[in-house]
Amino acid sequence: MRNLTRTLRPDFLPRSSGILLHVTSLPGPHGCGDLGAAAHRFLEFLAESGQGWWQMLPIGPPGRAPGWSPYDSASAFAGSLWLVSLTSIARQGLLPPHELKPPPGLTSRRVNFVATLRYREEQLRRAFAGFRRRRGERRYDFREFCDANADWLEDFALFMALRRDSGGKTWTEWEAAVRRREPSALRAARERLRDEIAGHRFVQFEFDRQWRSLREHAHRLGIGLIGDLPIFVAHDSADVWSHPELFQLDRRGQPRRVSGYPPDRFSRNGQHWGHPQYRWAANEQTGFAWWVRRFERIFELFDVVRIDHFLGFTRTWSIPAGAANARSGRWVKSPGFKLFAAVARTLGPRPMIAEDLGQVTPADVRLRDSFGLAPMRLFQFGFGTEADSVDHLPHNYSQLCAAYPGNHDNDTTVGWFQGLPASKRRRVQAYVGGHPSTIHHDTLRALFASPASLVIFPLQDLLGLDSRARMNVPGTVDGNWNWRLKSQPPAATVKTVRSLTEMFGRCPAPHLRGENQSPRPSRYSSEP
């Protein structure tokens, strides 16, 4: 596979643009979007539209009910079984295609998390049974994948097997010897659950195969993939269970202090995320080995990485574990310079975007600029009352920045505009020109014309969708992360977005297009 990362400058030059869309939001017959045909068709849409980037949310296993958040994953390394295409597996002969008709409700406009997970797990178990009956090259490839990723895969597969064996209990409720990872207890568990463990290895193997196919297709089209690295991991995760010494836990494995954010423009009580806080001194004693491996892993999958909650690398809002909200938290310093230096020593310079949103301090700016990370700028924040609001207006953007109308935590542009007071709507309209009915298009035009080297816009904004298409409301649990496209974007949108891309010089440069690629006819189809 051609490695685009090595041909990209960390400052994202030349000018380019792309679309933010999580894979689960794609259309598809099995409850949510996945890495199958719809993802490949979306790449064709991006290429025909002149876009150089596809940005996603975290692709690990999402959190459990009630939140189902991709930022609350059971692993910082594994891929999500939700994204494994069952149709692709059926084409290998591991599932009968005629039996893949999903039960009612899985093709709706919203992800039914419970039903989708149940259906996909059942089908993947059947596929693994078929895989075990196979012989030949695929079995060799499977062993090779397991050996190459054993450092995280073995703990993850065992964790997931133990979780199911316990009836879904969190790891702090498991048998004491297993909870404490006593070697004899782990050996016994691996032997007793060897088939279940092998099944989880298979799902990761198939995820890896399908991901590589998608990324190779993207690179042939000259499209880079932008991933998302959350700063925290879920307490009920393979990472915390297998590396408890790196987190602030008590003797029973429960968090002493947890993550969140102080009261701000999103929430007057702040945000109580609930992830365990790090024991930074213990991480530093290892040379930040776990962190370096996290970065290495995500750059195995993506060309550029967005660092979620970048401000947390200079200080985190630490909340007592039993607190009802985030108001009782306090700031605790983080060793961001030492951490990013350790990553740079191992991986060299890599293109990264810093989600530097919130109460930005001089220390945050020094850390970001010292390692060449691109700041984020959100158009919606440009019309606030905070002191830094003017930094988010397009005419004030620096060349090195990633500009967005809003991100996954914001309302859609149409929904945001409709919810503004009349006086502020007039101000926004005066800034972008145009008409209220075209506010989403006018906003994109302002961003495309800005000095920002990179512009990323949610697909919802390209389609002019209102608040019903919002992905997440910070500080809430229910009703998030479940928005889906009914079908691929209309073919007419290709002309709309490509005209903006060409007008403002953001079409990918020839060196980002596939090597030795000749002009090709359009293969984009508006059919799901």
Question: Which residues are identified as catalytic?
Answer: 308, 355, 409
The candidate with the shortest Cα–Cα distance to 264, out of 350, 206, 325, is 325
Distance between start and end Cα atoms, the chain: 27
Q: Extract the runs of DSSP E, i.e. beta strands, from 37-132.
A: 53-55
CA dihedral 200, 184, 170, 339 (to 10 degrees): -80
Locate 502 and state its tokens.
């060409």
Question: What are phi and psi for residue 401, nearest 5 degrees?
Answer: -165, 160
Bond from prior residue into 102 cis (ω within 30 degrees of 0)? no
Query: Which residue type does 369 have?
Result: D
Q: β-strand 271-276 against 257-261: which pairing, if any?
A: antiparallel
For residue 461, how far is the Cα from the chain centroid?
A: 19
Q: What is the DSSP string of 262-320?
A: -S-SS-TT-EEEEEEPB-HHHHHHTTSHHHHHHHHHHHHH-SEEEETTGGGGTEEEEEE
Task: For residues 300 and 461, give the distance between their C-alpha atoms in angstroms, rounded to a whole number.
Answer: 30
Q: β-strand 315-320 against 330-333: which pairing, if any?
A: antiparallel
Calculate ∠ Cα 333-359-231, nearest 5°. Answer: 55
Task: For residues 254 and 229, give the distance between their C-alpha atoms in angstroms, rounded to a whole number.
Answer: 24
Task: For residues 168 and 141, give the distance between their C-alpha atoms in angstroms, rounded to a whole number.
Answer: 31
Query: Which residue type does 18 have?
Result: G
Q: In what order do the strands lie in the sheet containing 257-261? A: 271-276, 257-261, 315-320, 330-333
